[in-house]
Amino acid sequence: MSIPCIDAEYKGEERYTKISLAYSTPEQLTEINKALEVVLKNCDLDHNSYSSDISNGRKIIVIEFHDDYDREGGKILTRLMKILDIKECQN
């Protein structure tokens, strides 16, 4: 049985950006957390993050940016996807 990759879903509106990352293994969680540490290290934007269980034993981490007047959140999330080698997101 193959392990599903990290799946990403992006949502964005005026001054709001969100990415949801679904994962299956502790190794994938570690990979996500390391990537988040890198991209959020010098981040001045106010952000929220939370996690939850989803179907088939998978879990999800959500990162949201609010009041993002200059749309910096999208750049941060693009960098996150590059580090995690995620080629595309669902919208």
- CATH superfamily membership of 7-83: RNA polymerase, RBP11-like subunit (3.30.1360.10)
C-alpha pair distances (Å), 9 with each of 1, 2, 42, 44, 70: 24, 21, 24, 23, 21
Beta-bridge mates of residue 8? 21
Contact of 43 with 77, CB cutoff 8 Å: no
Residue 24 sits at the vertex; the CA angle it makes with 86 and 56, to the nearest 5 degrees, is 120
Please report the pLDDT score of residue 36 as a whole number: 93
Please report the pLDDT score of residue 73 as a whole number: 84
Find tokens 């990403």 and name the residue: 8
**How far, in Å, CA of 22 to CA of 28, rounded?**
9
91 residues of the chain, pLDDT tens digit each: 455 789 999 888 888 889 999 999 999 999 999 999 999 888 888 889 999 999 888 999 999 988 777 778 888 888 999 999 888 766 5
Where in the chain are the domains?
A: 7-83
Give the residue from 73, 61, 64 showing the smallest Cα distance to 28: 61
Please report the pLDDT score of residue 1 as a whole number: 46
Please report the pLDDT score of residue 68 as a whole number: 75
